[in-house]
Amino acid sequence: MTEHQVDEAIGFERFVARRGRDLWRAAWLLTNDSQHAEDLVQTALAKTWGRYDAIGNDAQFEAYVRTTIYRTFVSWWRKMSWRNERPSETLADSASAEGSAHLRMDLMRALDELPRMQRAVLVLQYFEDLSIDEIAKQLGVSSGTVKTHSSRGRAALRDSAHLIEAGVLT
């Protein structure tokens, strides 16, 4: 390994150490599963690590990795067999209060029933706090497509039995 390659590898490792948890959180919001989130982040990092040095800016590289995470997520759900899994009755991750744990589970069940593109748009819009244009760029679609998926996703959540039964929507 050359000195430049060693420096690049060290920089990439530092990036992962600093930003990996936030990348995993974004992936978990999409998959609702710790192991699938880890797989998604690892796949995205494997796809993008060769561009780390070329991009040269951690903020821009993180945006590149996040775009890869969202696009990989949409692609995986089209072809992988685990797309039919449903959340279990218990949360794998700890919750601060039992009430919020049940609400979180109901929300994840409702999100899980959405088509993948609607779910990705809503996660980016409400959990990642991205604008319509930023979401369109990340997913490689038009702003109108993002608005359509967002509107349809919100309508589906309003009609979700999980959120109505939980008392979130009355």
Cβ atoms within 10 A of the Cβ of 68, count?
A: 21
Q: Give the separation between CA 140 and CA 56, rounded to whole angstroms.
A: 23
Q: What is the pLDDT of residues 128-145, one digit of tens each?
A: 888 999 999 989 999 999
pTM assigned to the model: 0.54
Domain that holds residue 161: 86-170
User: Two tokens at 108?
Assistant: 């994840």
Asked if residues 118 and 156 have their Cβ atoms less than 8 Å apart, the reply is yes
Residue 89: per-residue pLDDT? 63
Q: What is the pLDDT of residues 43-79, one digit of tens each?
A: 999 999 888 888 878 999 999 999 999 999 988 766 6
Q: Are residues 57 and 123 in the same domain?
A: no
Q: Are residues 99 and 81 in the same domain?
A: no
Q: Are residues 80 and 2 in the same domain?
A: yes
Position 5 pLDDT exceeds 80: no
Q: Are residues 91 and 79 in the same domain?
A: no
Domain-terminating residue out of 22, 51, 85? 85
Domain count, the chain: 2
Asked if residues 77 and 83 have their Cβ atoms less than 8 Å apart, the reply is yes
Q: Are residues 77 and 46 in the same domain?
A: yes
Asked if residues 36 and 87 have their Cβ atoms less than 8 Å apart, the reply is no
Domain-terminating residue out of 65, 85, 105? 85
Q: Are residues 95 and 77 in the same domain?
A: no
